[in-house]
Structure 1
Amino acid sequence: MKARTLQKDKVNIITLGCSKNLVDSEVLSGQLKANEIDVVHENSKLDHNIVVVNTCGFIDKAKEESINTILDQVALKKKGKLDKVYVTGCLSERYRGDLETEIPEVDAWFGTFELPLILKQFDADYKTELVGERFLATPKHYAYMKISEGCNRTCSFCAIPLMRGQHVSRSIESLVAEAEGLVQKGVKEVMLIAQELTYYGLDLYKKRQLDVLLNKLADVKGLEWIRLHYAYPNKFPMEVLDVMRERDNICNYLDMPLQHASDNMLKAMRRQSTRAEMEDIIAAIRDKNPGICLRTTLITGFPGETRDDVEELKDFLVKQRFDRVGCFTYSHEENTSAYDLEDNIPADEKQRRAQEIMEVQQEISYEKNQEKIGNTYKVIIDKKEAGRYLGRTEFDSVEVDNEVVIQSDKKLPVGEFVNVKITKAYDYDLEGEVVSQ
């Protein structure tokens, strides 16, 4: 018997992939804590004896990172530095049979909806009274909030329904209770996430209810910013914009992944929208809410994409002038409908096209940031780093958007809001100085 087995177990959770995975890890942490099991997230001290790897199986790069992380943990186990290695999440859900054969050293594999089974490995009980309770892995002033699970869309490139199933909304009451609990922990900003926010409520209430949910969440005292991620353009519920305009604590920000702008590609991707329809919805959104910050994500290198398609996408960006853009290269995923197509564009060419797209957006972002010089914005302080403070405006989400760099002799508490006048602007960042309230 190893000496370490006489010690109390300490569990380290490693989270890979998206913010939805992070929420799952936080829920697992909360359940373990409630069962009096010591748990940490991304532990650098290496004083734990059990690891749970929460994997991503979305695209090739994410799958590779997940497998390498599992192998790293298995190597530590072989050296006697770990007692147990467990794996959960999307990669495990999607490829469990193959992985069990390929990496037999892992002690147990779990899918995306098997939290109670994970807890059984620790002789722990799933506590239903703790639904919505989480042990936050983020700084305490912000948190992600998953309002639904799964997706009913049939985008040809996407494997998410294979791993997360069909759309299931959480009740408004449970989400309000969770938001109230988060505020009690010190959270001031919540980022609403789902595979598709705008589908929210159709299964539970037989109609889209995102606007109703937003109004209820905006009533939660102490919740200063509510941010919307992952909206879908088709049948976008415009009443959401009315709530955004009327409620001060809903950020003037909308993340709407569009994926492409060429009708040929949109049809092949099964996006249920044409370029003209997307342009109409963008115009209607901006007409209803002129100051809104629009973020989108795009895919390059989808099978059959031509140079004309790429040029059309660049033209679309120039004309629409999004505030924020992310760009991914196409990943050929088994069991998606696009897998039947020939993945005929080399990886380096996919990357070149993504670079072209981002160069167009870089110029747009620079011009938009230059327009902010001299303006004053409410900024939340995220951290202090290298003697300076880093914060965000309501138009910027965590990790993916602009940061505001602030030099200040006065202490600025992390998680507090300050008014910042912008003095300099770059492609993707701003500089500013604190001004009096």
Structure 2
Amino acid sequence: MAKKRVNVVTMGCSKNLVDSEVLLNQLERGKFEVVHDSNETGFDAVFVNTCGFIHDAKQESIEMILDYAEAKKRGEIDKLYVMGCLSERYQNDLERELPEVDKFFGKFDMKAMVDELKVTYHPEYIYERKITTASHFAYLKISEGCNRSCSFCAIPKMTGRHKSRTIESLVKETRYLAKKGVKELLLIAQDLSYYGIDLYGKSQLAELINQISEVEGIEWIRLHYLYPTKFPMDILPIMRENPKVCKYLDLPLQHISNPVLKNMLRHVTREETEALLARIKEEVPGVVIRTTMLVGFPGETEADFEELKEFIQETKFERLGVFPYSKEEGTYAGDKFNDKLSDEEKQERADEIMEIQQYISAELNQQKIGKEFQVIIDNTEGEFIVGRTEFDSPEVDGEVLISTEKELRKGQMVTVKITGAEDYDLYAELV
């Protein structure tokens, strides 16, 4: 008898991806044939893991559900299930609007999803995942939820308050991932800065990094999503001295104008932000900072926007992304502030920021020509073997395109010399 087939489709962020990987493993243990993000048909069940972060992400999730609803009508799939952040926040509305969906599950309904397919749930294997990324890197979600109160953000309404996982469970999962061949570990959470406070009474991010860095097989540890407010300073000596910890920090600042920061409820000022950046760069020479900005926030004046542009030009962030503000119902900003800028004006501001950043990135990349870097090999694209430095996170940052006839395997660490540069990517040859 052929195994029943399940496809899990993931929308949104890497934190959702980890949830999908856990579900895939549980179902595979239940003797299902499982795949991730497949475009095929003929599945007994499809789970759409939705995103509810901003308007565009929510719309993409809805469109994906509708696509599979049509596939179900055509008889190409049997059962359609919806899970994740959008379902967590809008389950009642979705049930009314999308009767084609067989069942909706919230973000934390893993057992219910497994039970729905009449599979035995194994909580003792919750740390095991079916890795869907390239086999040499994986995400490690160290906590769920957020205690921050940023006025533009609806994430706490979907994830609840911050809940750290124990250090012991994360070390166990790291060992499991290392045995699977993972060399690069990307620590993720809604807020890494808060890790451990709820369990241990104080931040334990530094201790966690120390313990997982001792796991044999792990070569790089990368930190994503730290807040500038109450930043855990004790991680800086570790980044400086531990060769396994990438000199890379993902530090979303959102803005720099004090009036905008105040209305965003970020609980930090421009002066405090600049002092933090200076200390990070002083304590960790060579560190690369990735940040995210939010433009078009209600009340953002031309002067506020000009201040942000000047700050970006002066600071020269190595990595930067930008979002135009979108009103989220139920948030402080959505309820209290009048959103006067049009979507077109917000997008124009976002485009202007990215033009500035494109120039900065090109300038910084040119300075790398002639220098040597260690890179991890990701894949092959045409005539090039593609890798990344410790300063580049997969799927969001630039790549190193290596010219060589030598065979290099995924996950292999090699030293290269930079021979050329584009705005975001680098060209290199083996040393």
Report the CA distance between 1:343 and its aligned residue. 1.5
Q: Which residue of 1 aligns with 2:97?
A: 102
After TM superposition, the structure 1 = structure 2 runs for residues 421-436 of structure 1, keeping only pairs within 5 Å, are 421-435=417-431
Q: Give me the whole-angstrom Cα distance separating, in 1, the residues matched to 2:428 and 2:43.
A: 42
Letter in 2 for 1:48: F
After TM superposition, the structure 1 = structure 2 runs for residues 34-45 of structure 1, keeping only pairs within 5 Å, are 34-45=29-40
1:83 is paired with a residue whose SS is strand
Q: Give me the whole-angstrom Cα distance separating, in 1, the residues matched to 2:41 and 2:366.
A: 45
- Greater displacement, 313-322 / 72-81: 313-322
Q: 1:49-80: CA deviations, max 9, x gaps?
A: 31000000110000000000000000000001
1:419 is paired with a residue whose SS is strand
User: Is the counterpart of residue 377 in structure 1 residue 373 in structure 2?
Assistant: yes
Q: Give me the whole-angstrom Cα distance separating, in 2, the residues matched to 1:44 and 1:73.
A: 10
User: Is the counterpart of residue 163 in structure 1 residue 178 in structure 2?
Assistant: no
User: Is the counterpart of residue 146 in structure 1 residue 105 in structure 2?
Assistant: no
Gaps of at least 5 residues in structure 1 are 1-5
2:56 is paired with a residue whose SS is helix
Question: Which residue among 380, 396, 403 is the counterpart of 1:400?
Answer: 396
Q: 1:403-437: CA deviations, max 9, x gaps?
A: 001111111111111111000011111000011xx
Letter in 1 for 2:181: G
Native 8 Å contact 1:10 1:37 kept in 2: yes
1:49 is paired with a residue whose SS is strand
Q: Give me the whole-angstrom Cα distance separating, in 2, the residues matched to 1:374 and 1:179.
A: 36
Q: 1:202-233: CA deviations, max 9, x gaps?
A: 00000001000000011111100000000000
Q: Which residue of 1 aligns with 2:312?
A: 317
Native 8 Å contact 2:366 2:421 kept in 1: yes
Q: Give me the whole-angstrom Cα distance separating, in 1, the residues matched to 2:133 and 2:3.
A: 25
Report the CA distance between 1:7 and its aligned residue. 5.1
Letter in 2 for 1:34: R
1:415 is paired with a residue whose SS is coil
Q: Give me the whole-angstrom Cα distance separating, in 1, the residues matched to 2:43 and 2:418.
A: 44
Q: Give me the whole-angstrom Cα distance separating, in 2, the residues matched to 1:235 and 1:63.
A: 30
TM-score (norm 2): 0.98
1:248 is paired with a residue whose SS is coil
TM-score (norm 1): 0.97
Q: Give me the whole-angstrom Cα distance separating, in 1, the residues matched to 2:193 and 2:68.
A: 38
Q: Which residue of 1 aligns with 2:274?
A: 279
Q: Give me the whole-angstrom Cα distance separating, in 1, the residues matched to 2:353 and 2:339.
A: 20
1:286 is paired with a residue whose SS is helix
Native 8 Å contact 2:41 2:77 kept in 1: no
Native 8 Å contact 2:3 2:31 kept in 1: no
User: Is the counterpart of residue 66 in structure 1 residue 68 in structure 2?
Assistant: no
Question: Which residue among 16, 21, 27 is the counterpart of 1:21?
Answer: 16
2:77 is paired with a residue whose SS is coil
Q: 1:162-210: CA deviations, max 9, x gaps?
A: 1000000000010011011001001000100000001000000000010
Gaps of at least 5 residues in structure 2 are none
Native 8 Å contact 2:42 2:76 kept in 1: no
Q: Give me the whole-angstrom Cα distance separating, in 2, the residues matched to 1:187 and 1:7.
A: 31
Q: Which residue of 2 aligns with 1:3?
A: none
> Moved runs in structure 1, 4+ residues, more than 2 A?
44-49
Native 8 Å contact 2:72 2:80 kept in 1: yes
Question: Which residue among 344, 347, 369 is the counterpart of 2:343?
Answer: 347
Q: 1:344-390: CA deviations, max 9, x gaps?
A: 11011101000111111111111111111111101011111123111
Report the CA distance between 1:244 and its aligned residue. 1.1
1:338 is paired with a residue whose SS is helix
After TM superposition, the structure 1 = structure 2 runs for residues 207-286 of structure 1, keeping only pairs within 5 Å, are 207-286=202-281
Q: Give me the whole-angstrom Cα distance separating, in 1, the residues matched to 2:2 and 2:331.
A: 46
Question: Which residue among 158, 176, 179 is the counterpart of 1:181?
Answer: 176
